[in-house]
Amino acid sequence: GFRSCPQRADCGDGSPSSAAAQTPSGEDFSLSLLDTNLPAEAETELRSFIAKRLTKGALFEGMGNVASVGLSIPEYKVGCYYCRFQQENLLEIATLESDINAPEYVVCFLGGSEKEDTFRLELDKYTQSLKIKLDLEQKPLETYFNCYLRSWFENAICPIQRVVQLFQEKLTSLLHAALSYTPVEVKNADERTEKDISRFLAAASLQGLVQEGTMTSLCIAMTEGQHKSMIIDCSGPQPQLHNAESNRFCEDWMHAFLNGAEGGNPFLFRQILENFKLKAIQGINNLKRFIRQAEMNHYALFKCYMFLKNCGSGDILLKIVKVEHAEMPEARNVVTVLEEFMRE
C-alpha cells in the first residue's frame, strides 16, 4: 500500500530548507513535496537522496543526520541536515483504524557549507518545535510551514554571528561569563536579542564536556557566593555591561571571533566557539595533571602556579578544578596553596 506523505525543501548558501514525508523501509512509500525553494532539478536530486536513505531504513524518528550532498545547482557539495518525524496526535487514530496512516515528514535544511554538523543540536531543537506545532494543530499547516521553515537559517544558524556583531570587544566578558557559569541578566532587550544571548551563553559553556556534578556545584557556587550577576543592558545601540569580568584567554578568543567576522560566514563562528571550548578543556586537564604531580613534590607545585599564571584563564580553571577536587584532601591542599599564590 502507498502512503502519501508531505515533503519540503529549501536550498542555498543561507536560505535553504526542506521537509518530506515517508514510511518505514521495506514498504512502498511516496514522497510528496510540501514546500521548497530549490530549483526543480536539485529538488529531484534531493528527493532521490532522501528516498535512498528511507529505503535503507537509515532514518530514525526524531534523530537528525548531517551528510554532504552533491546537487547540480549550485554545482558543488552542500551540507544537508535531514530529520524524519511523525505527527503524534494522529498515532492513536492510526492504531484504531488501520487504513488511516499518520503522515510522516522529512525536513531538510541545506547550507552552503559542509559545516552544518556543528549546528546539529540547534537544528534538532528547531525541528522538534516544528513537530510540536504540528501536533497541537492536528493538521499540516502549509502557511505555517512556509514561514517557519524559511526562517530556519536566521533562527538556528545566525544567533552566534549576531551576538559577535552586537558585542564586539565586549564579547570577552560574555565568553568569561559562559566559562565561569556566572549568572547573566539581560535587560531592555527585544525578544530576539535576549534569545540570541542565552543561546550564545549555552553554546559557549562547557555543559556536557565536564562532569555533570562539577557543573551543578559551579552553578551553585556562582549563584550563592559573593558573586554578582553580570548585567547586560541593551537599551542603547551598544550593550552596556555591569559586574563584567574578563581574562587574557577570553580576550584572545574575542579577537579570533572579530577576525572571523570579516568573512561573514555564520558556520565559521560555531567552529571558533567549539575550538574555544576545546582549549578550555585542555587547560582544565593540564591543570589536573599538574595538581596530581604537585601532591608528590614541591617543584611540581611551582610548575602548577606558573601554568595558572601564564595560561590566561587561571581564575576560571582554578574554580572548576577546586569544585572537582573538593572530595580529595591532598588535591584540596594543593588548590588552597595555589589560591593563596594567585591572590598574592
Query: In total, how many domains does the chain have?
Result: 2
pLDDT tens by residue, 81-103: 899 888 766 555 555 555 556 77
pLDDT for 74 beyond 80: no
Q: Kindly report the pTM of this predicted structure.
A: 0.80
Asked whether residue 152 is assigned to any structural domain, the reply reads: no
Q: Could you tell me if 195 and 285 lie in one domain?
A: yes
pLDDT tens by residue, 166-177: 999 999 999 999
Q: Could you tell me if 131 and 228 lie in one domain?
A: no
Q: Could you tell me if 241 and 284 lie in one domain?
A: yes
Asked whether residue 17 is assigned to any structural domain, the reply reads: no
Q: Is 342 left (phi over 0), alpha (psi -120 to 50) or beta?
A: alpha
Asked whether residue 84 is assigned to any structural domain, the reply reads: yes
Q: Is-contact 156 120, C-beta < 8 A?
A: no
Mean pLDDT of 256-284: 89
pLDDT for 140 beyond 60: no
Query: Where does the pLDDT of residue 134 fall: very low under 50, low under 70, confident under 90, or very high at 90 and above?
Result: confident
Asked whether residue 204 is assigned to any structural domain, the reply reads: yes
Q: Could you tell me if 116 and 225 lie in one domain?
A: no
Q: Could you tell me if 111 and 191 lie in one domain?
A: no
Q: Could you tell me if 135 and 276 lie in one domain?
A: no
Percent of the chain predicted with pLDDT > 90: 30
Q: Could you tell me if 128 and 175 lie in one domain?
A: no
State the residue range of the domain holding 57: 40-90+100-139
Q: Could you tell me if 107 and 187 lie in one domain?
A: no
Q: Is-contact 37 19, C-beta < 8 A?
A: no
Asked whether residue 290 is assigned to any structural domain, the reply reads: yes
pLDDT tens by residue, 292-325: 899 888 888 999 999 999 999 998 998 888 887 7
**Higher-pLDDT residue of 275, 213:** 275
Q: Could you tell me if 323 and 175 lie in one domain?
A: yes
Written as one letter, the residue type at 27 is E
Nearest to 79 by CA among 43, 116, 44, 124: 116
Q: Could you tell me if 244 and 200 lie in one domain?
A: yes
